[in-house]
Structure 1
């Protein structure tokens, strides 16, 4: 029973630690990495209050050192999906009825656990399991997931606070109820924070979750689940299963209590899931909510007035941080001919100074791509580009998977602005540049808008404000997150809500109130204090 109108602590973005030589955070992280490399873990599924182990095991290895075994996880089947759904539905009534401030307290505690005692462990798991360098891990598996939890609690409070006007003698109220049924959260490998946010955002609004992470992210997902359990998330509220996608979908999307999909992954998979849900609409109790963030072919457009050094830095960081495996990574650039040589020389100078290797050596800027399948796909694009006419290999192009899945940052310059690496999502460290004549800037903006089916992120670089205004207007539908004189990556929770439209998803903006609104169903309540007792209205009286 609540006896107050509560105010949650005001959220603030978690500071990024430096990990400078000799710093306590660096010492703690190195110790966590050494400890985790020294042990082989057996990772269970979490269904209801049980840890579920199976006889079918899948090996986990660092992408940058694939001969080393971090552990094994238990692979589930359709029966485990059914079990997880039943656990979620069984926990629903008590969780939905829990006063919101207690749900808030759980997730605020989870944020503090990650900020404190779990920070090194979660960062180490991300560095080892997903081959992120220390900075990329810190901004993801520490700061961003902390921010998601704290800001989402704040947004939850704002949603519950939103009410309607009341007339004399009437009290109107809004109830923001959880959806009727369970939510299916499908999370990607590339961000531990996304893997944490997709189940917790609907959960804090009173929903219960079946969570299926990418197999290549399970090492850090297991640490997240440890945090959630220690924070006090009740049994059955978040159920973590490791089941092949189509096999899980066979059960989830045929269940009458399926209430919503929270998804980050490929455009092709998302479209297939949407179609499956549409075909199954007669089965469901309600129309399911579908929220998805998918692919991108993110652009950087430079105007002739742009600062060449700023453009080069944005391209090197935007294209090659985390090996280009961000949905927002810069993968196509349009550079005017008056700047190209200068931009190219700055980029090459930066790339020559970069070290590539395992994440355990903090001096390495470039690490491995996630697995052999990704390596083969990216390497295939590069090898074909080397053979094709009209393509110049500006930098890189070397690939080696003998020890880890290492692909050298690669810059291609193309004569054909519709060449496949300008159009298709590669999801790796490959940047394709098209050099244009400066007087064709407006045509290039139209080309940028029309080349890709995606609309996730993009950047304009210019000192000329008329050029910035023109690009902002011409590219208004080309990117859900649009950057002016900055790289197209690095959205911060509470500052740049993230998401795109077109083939990039539903643009429901993770890290903002809009996303949480998708996980509630509003009930309007009208209470009349003194109800009428006569059906007659004044207009009916005789003159």
Structure 2
């Protein structure tokens, strides 16, 4: 019997000792900034002339690291190594693979403040958000290890007196993992180790904005005993190596987390059968959201305002689950809006390497420009209540922003902004509120704040999202507790951190023996 796992506890930074430990880790990491990092292909360290420069988005002139960049020739080399490694790795025991994850989890847990410091530097994460990111990565390691041990037992099927039947799962092959910059440790870790623990080999292409932390995970996995060639670390551009590997005839699956535009492009390219390809590629895609919190006229209004503000502005709104829209019953609209504005004004913003600010920077210049563009659009479409200002002189800082009185069809009510912007709109009744909430191409997360049981039951059936929360915010899914993934243009609803996620990287095999 596999022991259940209880998720990694979060660090309380109001305790002075914890705050000092993290500050010490930040100072130590600062001494290690600016190093060069190689590719890792088959265990071999390969330095290239072309580099990705990873910077601290809170301090543009601070280089986190210079990371070697793979080209097509090196991507092909990584594919060949992964293909060869798969031939024996697929026969390794599930226990061996799970033990690598368990040891890796223990290593990261012991070095948690150090890893927190790295993603504060590379991702601009506030302390609380960084700590939750690392904790989630530990959770993925522990949870997927345990899930693999359960799957290894197979599924019971019927036999007959004349035959013995067994049903088991086998791995797929070589897969490309394209990880995002926002959960730069957690999602990168979970998407890399889930196919690995199921017996596949992996080509890991981390986000170009945050490749250093992925190298740090590779070091941990190697220390934990992962053999060379099982996960190969190949940062590089999507146009040069991403498309090449998506279309490669030896690629068996693609696991992607990122934008809708890139995700749908991958889905289309992976669907085309290449010369020499003898399988249909699987695609696991998580592509974002336009997430709504609905508040009815029987809700706890303080809880409603707190839930909206925390869900909209945690990690500067750079979460696919972030609250981007608040749909409020007209009877309580003004009260919830006023209180949300008050709470937003209390939030501080700054360089999280220096202080435990609530908000840090957005990830880069491109994100800054895009979000500021949406803010300009919002000023034309609605009423600016708070925020609306940015400063990219030293880092990429945007004040938490609330717009009111939006039409449900407005641009900032429909398009994913991926920044600290939330739009408020009124609903005449609960049914209209749910209609507005569903009026989007996405279907990732949502929340309902209400003390009306009938309204909650209506939402349970009719609010069409993959993760629906009652009387809490719409972010902060926990591995093993809230399997995560969405409907429609939010992706393939693959439910990361859930009981069936590893089956995405396995195929069923029936063996029947006549007696």
Residue 9 (structure 1) shift: 4.2
Q: Deviations over 1:32-57 (max 9, x none)?
A: 21122223211111111111111112
Q: In structure 2, the residue corresponding to 1:506 is in which secondary structure? A: coil
Match of 1:398 among 365, 389, 392: 389
Asked if 1:189 corresponds to 2:175, the answer is: no
- CA contact 1:300–1:333 (8 Å) conserved in 2: yes
Corresponding pairs, count: 512
| 1:479 alignment counterpart | 465
Matched, 1:503 2:494: no
Cα shift at 1:68:
1.4
Supply the distance in 2 between the matched residues of 1:282 and 1:90 (Cα, whole angstroms): 20
Displacement of 1:339: 1.4
Instruction: Flag the 1:415–1:238 CA change in 2: closer, same or farther, 3 A.
Output: closer
Q: CA deviation at 1:486?
A: 1.1
Distance 1:363 1:518 in 2: 39
- Does residue 465 in structure 1 map to residue 458 in structure 2? no
Partner of 1:55: 49
1:412-452 CA-to-partner distances (Å, cap 9, x unmatched) read 01342211000000000000000233xx3212312221x21
Aligned to 1:435: 426
| Alignment of 1:370 onto 2:363 | yes
| C-alpha displacement of 1:281 | 5.2
Alignment of 1:77-92 (within 5 A): 77-92=71-86
Residue matched to 1:297: 290
1:311 partnered with 2:300: no
Q: Which residue of 1 aligns with 2:407?
A: 416
1:434 match: secondary structure:
strand
State the Cα distance separating 1:163 from its structure 2 match.
2.6
1:285 aligns with 2:274: no
SS of structure 1 residue aligned to 2:57: coil
Query: Which of 13, 27, 30 is residue 19 of structure 1 equivalent to?
Result: 13
- Determine the C-alpha separation between the residues in 2 that align with 1:363 and 1:295: 28
CA displacement at 1:84 relative to structure 2: 0.9
SS in 2 for 1:216: coil
Q: CA deviation at 1:468?
A: 1.4
| Partner of residue 513, structure 1 | 499
SS in structure 2 of the partner of residue 172 of structure 1: strand
The correspondence for 2:223, drawn from 226, 230, 239, is 230
Normalization by structure 1: what TM-score? 0.92
State the 1:360 CA deviation.
Answer: 2.1
Could you tell me how far 1:354 is from its partner in structure 2?
1.5
Q: 2:435 aligns with which of 446, 460, 482?
A: 446
Segments of structure 2 that go 5 or more residues without pairing to the other structure are: none
Q: Per-residue displacement from partner, 1:367-423 (whole Å, max 9, x unpaired)?
A: 00000000000001112322x1x5100111110000110000000013422110000
Which residue, out of 233, 241, 245, partners 2:238?
245
Question: How far off is 1:283 after superposition?
Answer: 4.1
> What's the TM-score once normalised by structure 2's chain length?
0.96
Q: Does 1:42 align with 2:36?
A: yes
SS in 2 for 1:112: helix
Q: Distance in 2 between matches of 1:496 and 1:455?
A: 15
Q: Could you tell me how far 1:121 is from its partner in structure 2? A: 1.9
Q: 1:140 aligned to 2:133?
A: yes
- When structure 1 is superposed on structure 2, of 32-41 and 230-239 the one drifting more is 32-41
Displacement of 1:282: 5.6
User: How large is the Cα RMSD of the aligned pairs?
Assistant: 1.5
Partners of 1:330 and 1:185 lie apart in 2 by 27
- What secondary structure, in the 3-state scheme, does the structure 1 residue paired with 2:49 have? coil
Q: Is the 8 A contact 2:480 2:499 kept in 1?
A: no
Q: Distance in 1 between matches of 2:83 and 2:3?
A: 31
Which residue number corresponds to residue 425 of structure 1? 416
Contact 1:187 1:264 survives alignment (8 Å): yes
Alpha-carbon distance in structure 2 between the residues aligned to 1:83 and 1:26: 44
Give yes or no for contact 2:52–2:68 (8 Å, CA) kept in 1.
yes
